[in-house]
Structure 1
Amino acid sequence: MAILGYARVSTFDQQLSQIEALTAAGATTIFKEKVSGARADRPQLAKLIASLKAGDMVLVTKLDRLGRSTRELLDLIERIGKAGAAFRSLGDPLWDTSSSQGRLLSTLLAAIAEFERDLIRERTGEGRKCAQAKGVKFGRKPKLSEYQRLEALKRRAAGETLAEIAKSYAVDLSMISRLAE
């Protein structure tokens, strides 16, 4: 069983204090990065997750070092759990998934987050239906008018190449090829 620390900071001074705390708590390997938590691509976090083995413990000084949103945090904790590892936050003692209370807290928050996603999905679906009933069109505005589409089909039927037609309307060749579909 290895204790793997993760330190993410925006300034060098913060990193030093996190490394000291993680080392004092028994972390043998510490993955460090200086990157905003809002960024999805965090290479050191990806390396940490990829290196996990059953029985390992992932250790952070505070929850916000691992994830910036509840959803992201719960997803990461789930990935850690699927690897057979546990998660612990030094600054948040209830967050220790090696304990019954920590697993319960994670499960409850995951259920609440899923419930919230379902409510959002329902509300946006209802809003979309109302907007469509009022005549709102969704999606991009067509690049070609109905007249241009019919004209392009006639030109295509007359033997003009797709490339020539597309160039004359300043659209991709694929758009002209899809007109007959």
Structure 2
Amino acid sequence: MTIYGYARVSTAGQSLEVQSKALKTAGCGKIFSEKQSGIKANRVQLAKAIAALVDGDLLIVTKIDRLARSTRDLLNSLDQITGSGAGFRSLGDPWCDTTTPHGKLLLTVLAGFAEFDREMIIARTSEGRRLAKANGVHMGRKSKLTPHQRHEALARLAKGTETLSDIGRSYGVSHTTISRLEA
């Protein structure tokens, strides 16, 4: 079993020293550290730390906010960590420890709340879309062709003397756009 640490500060003016010292005291053999905002999804050293994990390893952070800034980000990171067979522990947040039954339970409950919240967001946005469509709001991107151009293109297609590509080229659109008019 290898114990890894991950330390992160948000700005160049902050120091990683306090986190590194705490992680070494906790038994971390290798510490991945970076000066990077937690909001950014592309944290190179975190990705390297997670990629290094194998079954039985442990990843430790000093506080949970060093790993993630949102519940979704936390759950995604924990899924990657536990998916490799490794455990996770936060020194400053004892409830967040996937190596204990209590920690697993709390994280499972947290994941359940996050999933519930996501389903509620989907339900609300679906209802909003349904209402907007009922009120005549066009959903999706703006049509590349005006109603007149669509009518003309369909008439040209009905004649059968031109290819989809030729008609599309005359309107500055692809043959696929013209073929969708028939549907």
2-structure distance, mates of 1:29, 1:130: 54
2-structure distance, mates of 1:119, 1:161: 43
How many residue pairs get aligned? The number is 180
- The one-letter code of the counterpart of 2:165 is L
Q: Would the aligned equivalents of 1:162 and 1:177 in 2 still touch at CA under 8 Å?
A: no
Deviations 1:100-156 (A, max 9, x none): 211111011011111111112222222222222222221112111122123345289
> In structure 2, what is the equivalent of residue 8 of structure 1?
8
1-structure distance, mates of 2:168, 2:149: 10
5+ residue gaps, structure 1, are none
Deviations 1:49-86 (A, max 9, x none): 12111111111111111111011101211221121111
Deviates more, 1:78-87 or 1:11-20: 11-20
The SS at the match of 2:88 is strand
- The answer to whether 1:162 aligns with 2:165 is yes
> Within 5 Å, which residues of 2 pair with 1:1-181?
1-12=1-12, 13-153=14-154, 154=156, 157-159=160-162, 162=165, 165-166=168-169, 168-172=170-174, 174-176=176-178, 178-180=180-182
CA RMSD in angstroms, aligned pairs only:
2.3
Deviates more, 1:53-62 or 1:4-13: 4-13
5+ residue gaps, structure 2, are none
Deviation at residue 161 of structure 1 after TM alignment: 7.9
1-structure distance, mates of 2:76, 2:3: 20
Deviations 1:24-53 (A, max 9, x none): 211111112222211111222222212111
TM-score under structure 1 length normalisation? 0.86
Q: Percent identity?
A: 51
Deviation at residue 89 of structure 1 after TM alignment: 0.7
The SS at the match of 1:143 is coil
1-structure distance, mates of 2:178, 2:164: 10
Q: Would the aligned equivalents of 2:164 and 2:175 in 1 still touch at CA under 8 Å?
A: no
Q: Would the aligned equivalents of 2:11 and 2:37 in 1 still touch at CA under 8 Å?
A: no
Deviation at residue 170 of structure 1 after TM alignment: 3.8
TM-score under structure 2 length normalisation? 0.85
Q: Would the aligned equivalents of 2:11 and 2:36 in 1 still touch at CA under 8 Å?
A: no
